[in-house]
Amino acid sequence: MHIATLSDPISSLWAAARAIFVRMIGVIGEPRALRENLEPDAKTLARVRAWLRPLEAVVRKIVLVEAAALARTLAPQPEPRLTSPTRFAPKTPYPQPRPHRGRFRLWPRSGPRPRIRLLGPPTHVREIWREQIREAQVRQLALVRFMRPPEPVLLAGRIEALARVLHKPLPAIRRLARKLRRSPRLAYALAVTRWPRSPHADPHLQDVVIRHACDSAKELNDSS
């Protein structure tokens, strides 16, 4: 089934990515089976990752090409306002478990911001409050890591998220386009991201995709 996208010249790239996805599912099986098998062997997980990673990378760059074209037509977005963190404790101090639903990551996570730590014990009320907030965040993070779903569930969520993007790419394209409108130079970083090593990668498709991605990043920044 052909799904119309914003840039007709790369419709063949979408078709190639969907064909690889069908071939991948034929080899590794449906994500539901992976989700139900909570103790697969290491070879099974390695095979899933070897198929999934290069296809995710290809789809990210195709979305980048579409998003860069859309970002050139969007109106400038206002800068988000910085708000101070609330001082009120949440009603539920511990995160509630919920079914894992993977989300297709379009850009890398930003690194932690630099912080200035006190060399001695806090002496002012503001410093004491900040130290209490930091300790609460550390405890919260430890609990979230403990509740992290097992790797088969995470991989199944990534496969399902990839399937949603391949079936309906426009929401992902719009989301990345808004990001690129605010930070157009991000397109360069996304375009030149290294391909993951995998025996199941398609070198010819990767060459075509990265050429389109680099051209789109240049056009976006030249028009900004």
Along the chain (224 residues), what's the average pLDDT of each consecutive run of 10 residues? 52 95 95 85 93 97 96 69 53 52 80 57 70 75 66 92 95 95 94 94 95 95 84
**In-domain check, residue 127:** yes
Residue 149 lies in a domain: yes
Residue ranges making up the domain that contains 146: 1-74+90-108+117-224
Within a domain: 62: yes
- Whether 83 maps to a domain, the answer reads no
Residue 80 lies in a domain: no
Which pTM does this prediction carry? 0.74
Burial pattern 123-155, b for ≥16 Cβ within 10 A else e, equals: eeeeeeeeeeeeeeeeeeeeeeeeeebeebbeb
Q: For residue 221, what are the CA distances in angstroms to 56, 127, 187?
A: 24, 43, 8
What separation, in Å, do the N-terminal and C-terminal C-alpha atoms of the chain show?
35
- Number of domains the chain is built from: 1
CA atoms of 68 and 216, how far apart (whole Å): 6
Q: How far apart are CA 102 and CA 220, in angstroms?
A: 29
**25 within some domain:** yes
Domain assignment of residue 200, yes or no: yes
- Which pLDDT score is estimated for 198? 94
In a domain, residue 85? The reply is: no
